[in-house]
């Protein structure tokens, strides 16, 4: 049988009408009475990412409501998740001093650091304003947990780059908080929005958590891929002293002496050190091992869909698993 195309377009096809309503809702959320500020928000709206998270919210809402047309609660949920993600990236680019986001100048680069910090704060305040005004407090309460986890993830990661003491346990904790938590909350809130039973909310959350772990592991693997494939500088994580799964897997296969040498090289992180570490990762099959772990998370995510009847929404969620696992950049 011919393989299904795993494009985001195909994944979004069953929610095409709802997508248009969501975009209207989001633009409204990213609006300010002040003209200059509104220009910044419009820039964000027009240069946003692929919309993986709101797509997941809407697909889970559809799956668990038997494809019913949905209203304000789902649109609000999808928008809040996208806004949390957006605010976190605006602040992340300030912290990382990144000048590019989604192939365009970052907010700090285009409008200055000061305005970027305030823009992130503005978006956060819109999250609470919209959530409170809607009176859908269960939704606001549910999504607000993720903001705390995102901050925790960033701080624990920062600590690790200073001590170079990264372990598997710490790595999984970091990627759970900095990435998987928002995908988990996104899928879970899709279920909350259609008032699904607690058991279904938890299953949706677990699905999101598993694809979120896989998503970040894939990101960490892609950091070792060539720039002409990803469009990003190779080994950017290592240059920031970040030890991720491919290296952790390779380290596990080394003697204690070799491990100390490699950790010292991560501390150095000049061109020569990076080339040596990359060589060792390849020799100890770090990439292949990380790929296998990612595949396990994808398989676990798919298990959460198994008890649902066949539907376009279930198919799209399965395709999303493949899309995230197969992406090349
Ligand atoms: C990308 O990281 C960013 C995150 C995973 C989350 C960042 C979270 C914060 C800055 C905490 C503040 C949160 C809010 C809601 C204001 P990356 O630098 O590894 O990836 P990149 O290559 O996409 O920049
Ligand atoms: Mg960053």
DSSP 15: G
Ligand 2 (single-atom ion) residues, CB below 5 Å: 92, 96
pLDDT of residue 143: 98
Ligand 1 contact via 212 beta carbon (within 6 Å): no
Tokens standing for 100? 């590019």
- The residue whose C-alpha atom lies closest to atom 17 belonging to ligand 1 is 92
pLDDT of residue 235: 92
Question: At residue 61, what are phi and psi to the nearest 5 degrees?
Answer: -60, -40
pLDDT tens-digit map of 156-201: 999 998 888 899 999 999 999 999 999 999 999 999 999 999 999 9
Identify the helix (H) or strand (E) that includes residue 101. Answer: strand 100-101
Please tell me the distance between residue 256's alpha carbon and the centre of ligand 2 in angstroms: 32
Cβ–Cβ < 8 Å for 217, 297: yes
pLDDT tens-digit map of 76-125: 999 999 999 999 999 999 999 999 999 899 999 999 999 999 999 999 99
Ligand 1 contact via 91 beta carbon (within 6 Å): yes
pLDDT tens-digit map of 222-273: 999 987 888 788 899 999 999 999 999 999 999 999 999 999 999 999 999 9
- The residue whose C-alpha atom lies closest to atom 2 belonging to ligand 1 is 92
Angle in degrees, 0-180, between the axes of helices 137-163 and 72-96, rounded to the nearest 10:
20
Cβ–Cβ < 8 Å for 210, 309: no
**CA–CA distance, 194 with 197 (Å, rounded to integer):** 9
- The residue whose C-alpha atom lies closest to atom 14 belonging to ligand 1 is 88
Ligand 1 contact via 178 beta carbon (within 6 Å): yes
**CA–CA distance, 179 with 169 (Å, rounded to integer):** 16
Q: Who contacts 282 (Cβ-Cβ below 8 Å, separation ≥6)?
A: none
How many CB atoms sit inside 10 A of residue 295's CB? Answer: 13
Which residue, among 49, 133, 122, 37, has the nearest Cα to 85 in the 3D structure?
49
The mean pLDDT of 312-318, rounded to a whole number, is 97
Q: Which ligand is nearest to the CA of 97?
A: 2
pLDDT for residue 4 is more than 60: no
Please tell me the distance between residue 103's alpha carbon and the centre of ligand 2 in angstroms: 13
**CA–CA distance, 280 with 117 (Å, rounded to integer):** 39
User: Among 50, 53, 89, 213, which residue has the most ligand 1 atoms within 8 Å of its CB, making it the best to mutate?
Assistant: 89
**Residue pointed to by tokens 């910090």:** 117
Q: Which class in CATH covers the domain with range 8-326?
A: mainly alpha
Atom of ligand 1 nearest to the CA of 120: 16
Taking the domains of the chain in order of start, what are their residue ranges?
A: 8-326
């Amino acid at each position: 049988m011919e393989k299904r195309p795993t494009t985001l377009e195909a994944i979004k096809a069953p929610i095409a009408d709802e997508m248009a309503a969501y975009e209207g809702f989001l633009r409204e959320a990213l609006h300010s009475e002040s003209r200059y500020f509104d220009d910044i928000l419009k820039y964000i709206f027009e240069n946003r990412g692929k919309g993986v998270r709101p797509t997941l919210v809407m697909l889970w809402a559809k799956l668990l409501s038997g494809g019913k047309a949905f209203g304000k609660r789902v649109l609000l949920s999808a928008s809040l998740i996208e806004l949390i993600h957006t605010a976190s990236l605006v602040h992340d680019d300030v912290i990382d001093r990144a000048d590019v986001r989604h192939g365009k100048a970052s907010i700090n680069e285009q409008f200055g650091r000061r305005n970027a910090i305030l823009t992130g704060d503005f978006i956060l305040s819109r999250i609470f304003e919209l959530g409170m005004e809607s009176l859908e407090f269960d939704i606001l309460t549910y999504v607000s947990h993720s903001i705390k986890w995102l901050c925790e993830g960033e701080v624990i990661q920062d600590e690790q780059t200073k001590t170079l003491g990264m372990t598997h346990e710490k790595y999984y904790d970091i990627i759970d908080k900095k990435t998987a938590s928002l995908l988990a909350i996104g899928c879970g809130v899709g279920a909350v929005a259609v008032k699904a039973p607690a058991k279904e909310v938890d299953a949706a959350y677990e699905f999101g958590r598993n694809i979120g772990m896989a998503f970040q592991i894939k990101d960490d693997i892609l950091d070792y891929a060539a720039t002409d494939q990803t469009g990003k500088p190779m080994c950017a994580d290592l240059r920031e002293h970040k030890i991720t799964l491919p290296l952790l897997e390779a380290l596990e296969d080394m003697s204690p002496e070799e491990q100390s040498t490699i950790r010292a090289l991560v501390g150095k992180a000049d061109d020569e050190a990076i080339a040596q570490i990359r060589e060792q990762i390849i020799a100890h099959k770090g990439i292949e091992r990380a790929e296998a772990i990612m595949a396990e998370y994808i398989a676990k995510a798919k298990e959460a869909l198994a008890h649902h009847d066949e539907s376009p929404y279930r198919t799209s969620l399965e395709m999303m698993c493949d899309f995230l696992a197969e992406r090349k950049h």
